[in-house]
Amino acid sequence: MVRFLICVLVIVMPLVCSGFQLAEDVEPLDPFLEVETEQAAFLQQNENMLRVELKSYFQQNRLKQQHPFNPSNEDIFVDAKQVNIMDFTVVSSWDNNWSMKIRQDLRYQNESVESNLANSDIEPNQSTLLEGLLRYKSDDNRLGIELGRNKPQWSTGISFDIANILQPQRSQPYIDVDSVTSYQGWDMISTQYIDEHWSIGGYIVESESPFLTGDRELVVRFAYQGDNSVSILLNQVEGADLTYAATWSRLLSDNIVFRSEWTLHDYRLSNSLNLEESKSYQRLMTGIAITFASGWSLFAEYLYNEHGASPAEWRELTLETMLAAQRLRMEQSNNLAQDFSLTFSGLDFINQGWLRKNYFSLLMRSQEVSDDWLWMFSLQSSLDDDSLLFRFETAKNLSDNLSIRFQGELFDGCELCEYGLNPNQSTMRMVFSWLF
Amino acid sequence: MHKLLIIFFFGLLLMVTFTSHSFNGSSLTKRQITGDNLDKLAGEVDKDTQNSLTLAEAQQKLNYIDSLRGYDKQGFSFHLTNVSYKQDKRQTVNRLMVKVMDEQSLVEYVSPKRQKRRKILKQGNNMWMHIPGTRNILRITPAQRLIGQASNGDVTGTTFSSDYDVMSITLEKHQGNAQGKDEGKDQKEVIKLELTAKRKNTAYQKIIFYLDVETQLPISSDFYSRSNRLLKRAEYREFKKYENQLKIHKILLTDPINQGSYTWMKFDQYRKHDINPALFHKDSLLR
């Protein structure tokens, strides 16, 4: 509780402090008298684009002494990680109507257990096609057709993007922005038609849902853009009933945005929890974003997640896994296969996000100025067990090409609480990015 | 207990947010003036000052100010370069291409390199942003700062005649800037045009324009919050003719709170042309 309060204070503090700044008053000189017209810079903007980014990061994890789900007496969790990524994007247009986009990454990853990078498993030269699509748009820009690998995102949420129904479950509490695979799309054919404030879209997608066996899914989206922007999504996966989603956002004032999302599934987004009979599962996200005069922005969101474990389910699952891991560690297991299965499904379960029913997130971000430090403080709290994840991030562009970012995470909660179950007590990551 | 704390925090946050907007609301004159009663009010103002002009004239001047940033209903585009300073140190430069049609604008970043192809769409008071590399389209606020002292609204443009009502128009001696700088020096007579927002909860509830008596061109404008706090000052430093029509070429935005922080904006390459309306749909930002 005290830690929660401290975290909230740390997040809100920059806003309070940003009001106290003094500086000399001098007559500003016109910079355009020195810097002559930048017409050449504007002319560089054309339809064809090649973007190449080399990103390299090192992450150090401070592990918990003994994780309750660890079936071994030795550490099994990664305590250091080094990743080098080359991210290529090519966009090419032939005329006003046809274009193509390809985004491919090349990764070299190095992970270690017990801080020994030399003995780690090395998986170099992994490569993934993140996006690869052929695009047609009509002369009046109303009709668009896309064929290939694509990643449409329909959510307006910051921490809880539940309306992105093609990616039903977060793999982590936060999207790992440095992992380019989080940008990997799905193979699909899609079309959209725009008519003034309205748009309608249809998507036929090769399904990759881990919760259903169907090969294909269909999404239809209706959207209205205005003071109240709303969208309705219908998702049909082979072998399941319709899934519904809706989004709503509204500008409450010149500096406050309200947003809300809702989804309804007839199946549970979890392989570890049982289906409840005749039950449909809802999610609701609601939140606001406030921009302050100092340039700082605050985002607050609440998530209700009916797919998450109830207190009884959580107790049963965590206790069973913990006892199975304990039996394996003490070599007292009577059924090795079952205990290993229980342990690994427990470990797999905690590797996902949104495991419980109620969440709250708070994020504070400084104004984005390309040559200045960007600051971000945030927390996500699982309200069902009072555990939380606090996150700190700062980034700066050192030049047009080079940028650095430092991030730290702190997991807090009881041993069998959601964020307390994370194998890390804290993590630190240093990221270097070179944009060619 | 934990939930209670969050509810309390949310409540406190909302209270602070809304009270900061409504405090001093009473210090502002609440009269909303439109069309028919403009001249009547002008008469009232005349009783107070011999220097008052008619409010119909004021509306005309407001339309003229709008014409310096656009071409009415005709679609057009321009290039914008922003140079931002903090503590008098050059901080950042960005270049934008802006397409405008009626109350809609589409901004595309040309530089810096990391923000290239970022797009901001404005429709009325609603704004959305798309960051390349992601597929999300985020709803943003007009008050969100784009660069230095320039907010999204500054870049995409405000139609003063449709968003603001004229409260008063007077002739007065120019007092330098809002902090009273140059006071006592050779003071020039200027037209003072006071505007108030038609909508509640706009970032700038009151704007005061100072216009040159001879040229009728704006010299500067002060932007006030609902609590009557001066948030920003714009100085109109240069005008230029494009296709035979005079347009604002250079603006200096200063921050009265953080002195030494300012942003230069250069508008260039104004061009009238037809723009496809479907470009101003947020789903088009991904194409």
pLDDT one digit per residue (tens) for chain A, 436 residues: 555 566 556 566 555 554 444 334 456 777 777 655 556 666 655 668 889 999 999 999 999 888 889 888 887 888 898 999 999 999 998 888 999 999 999 988 887 766 444 444 555 578 999 999 999 999 988 999 999 999 998 998 888 999 999 877 776 777 788 888 888 899 999 999 999 899 999 999 998 877 777 789 999 999 999 999 999 999 998 878 899 999 999 999 888 999 999 999 988 888 777 777 667 899 999 999 999 878 889 999 999 999 999 999 999 999 999 999 999 988 888 888 999 998 988 888 888 888 999 999 999 999 877 667 899 999 999 999 999 999 999 999 888 899 999 999 999 999 999 999 999 999 999 999 999 9
Confidence at residue A12, expressed as pLDDT on a 0 to 100 scale: 60
CA–CA distance, B7 with B18 (Å, rounded to integer):
16
Choice between A206 and B8, residue whose per-residue pLDDT is larger: A206
Q: Residues of B numbered 140-159 whose beta carbons fall under 8 angstroms of chain A's beta carbons: which are they?
A: 140-145, 147-148, 153
The answer, yes or no, to whether residue B66 has pLDDT greater than 50, is yes
pTM above 0.95, yes or no: no
| DSSP-based three-state secondary structure for B184 | coil
Query: Does B8 contact chain A (CB < 8 Å)?
Result: no
Q: Do A41 and B250 touch (CB under 8 A)?
A: no
Confidence at residue A365, expressed as pLDDT on a 0 to 100 scale: 92
Q: Do A194 and B148 touch (CB under 8 A)?
A: no
Mean pLDDT of B221-227: 88
Which residues on chain A are in Cβ contact (under 8 Å) with B2?
A: 1, 4, 381, 383, 386
CA–CA distance, A102 with A90 (Å, rounded to integer):
5
Q: Which residue of B has its CA nearest to A222?
A: B283
Query: Mutate which of B17, B270, B274 to test chain A, going by most A C-beta atoms within 10 A?
Result: B17
Confidence at residue B24, expressed as pLDDT on a 0 to 100 scale: 30
Which residues on chain A are in Cβ contact (under 8 Å) with B9?
A: 8
Among A47, A196, A251, CA closest to B101: A196
Q: Do B2 and A4 touch (CB under 8 A)?
A: yes
Which residues on chain A are in Cβ contact (under 8 Å) with B254?
A: 28
Q: Which residue of B has its CA nearest to A291?
A: B144
Distance from CA of A255 to the nearest CA of B (A): 5
pLDDT above 90 coverage of chain B, percent: 30
Query: Does B15 contact chain A (CB < 8 Å)?
Result: no
Q: Among A153, A254, A293, select the one facing B135 at the smallest CB separation.
A: A153
C-alpha A141: how far from its chain's center? 30
Which residues on chain A are in Cβ contact (under 8 Å) with B93?
A: 35
Distance from CA of A204 to the nearest CA of B (A): 18
Tokens 């990764």: give the residue: A107
Query: Mutate which of B82, B91, B145 to test chain A, going by most A C-beta atoms within 10 A?
Result: B145
CA–CA distance, B250 with B88 (Å, rounded to integer):
18
Q: Do A253 and B262 touch (CB under 8 A)?
A: no
Q: Do A383 and B2 touch (CB under 8 A)?
A: yes
Torsion of CA B21, B22, B23, B27, to 10 degrees: 110
Q: Among B97, B137, B202, select the one facing A42 at the smallest CB separation.
A: B97
CA–CA distance, A39 with A44 (Å, rounded to integer):
9
Q: Which residue of A has its CA nearest to B87?
A: A23
Confidence at residue A41, expressed as pLDDT on a 0 to 100 scale: 64
Confidence at residue A24, expressed as pLDDT on a 0 to 100 scale: 42
Confidence at residue B43, expressed as pLDDT on a 0 to 100 scale: 40
The answer, yes or no, to whether residue B42 has pLDDT greater than 80, is no
Parallel, antiparallel, or unpaired: how do β-strands B137-140 and A186-195 relate? Answer: unpaired
Q: Do A31 and B83 touch (CB under 8 A)?
A: yes
The answer, yes or no, to whether residue B181 has pLDDT greater than 90, is no
Query: Does B235 contact chain A (CB < 8 Å)?
Result: no
CA–CA distance, B88 with B85 (Å, rounded to integer):
5
By residue count, chain A amounts to: 436
Confidence at residue B46, expressed as pLDDT on a 0 to 100 scale: 43
Torsion of CA A300, A305, A311, A313, to 10 degrees: -150
Which residues on chain A are in Cβ contact (under 8 Å) with B90?
A: 31
Distance from CA of B49 to the nearest CA of A (A): 34
A396 touches A372 (CB < 8 A): yes
Q: A85 CB contacts (<8 Å, ≥6 apart)? A: A53, A54, A55, A56, A105, A106, A107, A108, A178, A180
Choice between A137 and B8, residue whose per-residue pLDDT is larger: A137
Confidence at residue B229, expressed as pLDDT on a 0 to 100 scale: 87
B264 touches B251 (CB < 8 A): yes
Q: Do A32 and B259 touch (CB under 8 A)?
A: no
Q: Residues of B numbered 113-142 whose beta carbons fall under 8 angstroms of chain A's beta carbons: which are they?
A: 113-117, 123-127, 132-142
Structure tokens at B93: 């430069």
Parallel, antiparallel, or unpaired: how do β-strands A98-112 and A242-253 relate? Answer: unpaired
Lowest mean pLDDT among A357-361, A385-389, B19-23, B207-211: B19-23
* φ/ψ of residue A272, rounded to 5: -95, -20
CA–CA distance, B29 with B45 (Å, rounded to integer):
13
Distance from CA of A267 to the nearest CA of B (A): 26
Which residues on chain B are in Cβ contact (under 8 Å) with A35?
A: 83, 93
Which residues on chain A are in Cβ contact (under 8 Å) with B266?
A: 32
Q: Which residue of A has its CA nearest to B79?
A: A42
Query: Does B10 contact chain A (CB < 8 Å)?
Result: yes
Q: Do A26 and B260 touch (CB under 8 A)?
A: yes
pLDDT bin (cut points 50, 70, 90) of residue B49 is: very low
The identity of residue A290, as a single letter, is I
| DSSP-based three-state secondary structure for B33 | coil
Q: Do A45 and B108 touch (CB under 8 A)?
A: yes
CA–CA distance, A76 with A321 (Å, rounded to integer):
16
Which residues on chain B are in Cβ contact (under 8 Å) with A161?
A: 136
Q: Do A369 and B92 touch (CB under 8 A)?
A: yes
Structure tokens at A213: 């066996």
Q: Among A153, A226, A253, select the one facing B201 at the smallest CB separation.
A: A253
Q: Do B114 and A28 touch (CB under 8 A)?
A: no
Distance from CA of A202 to the nearest CA of B (A): 13
C-alpha A136: how far from its chain's center? 29
Query: Does B70 contact chain A (CB < 8 Å)?
Result: no
The answer, yes or no, to whether residue B32 has pLDDT greater than 50, is no
Confidence at residue B44, expressed as pLDDT on a 0 to 100 scale: 42
Which residues on chain B are in Cβ contact (under 8 Å) with A381?
A: 2, 6
Q: Do B283 and A45 touch (CB under 8 A)?
A: no
B35 touches B41 (CB < 8 A): no
The answer, yes or no, to whether residue B30 has pLDDT greater than 70, is no
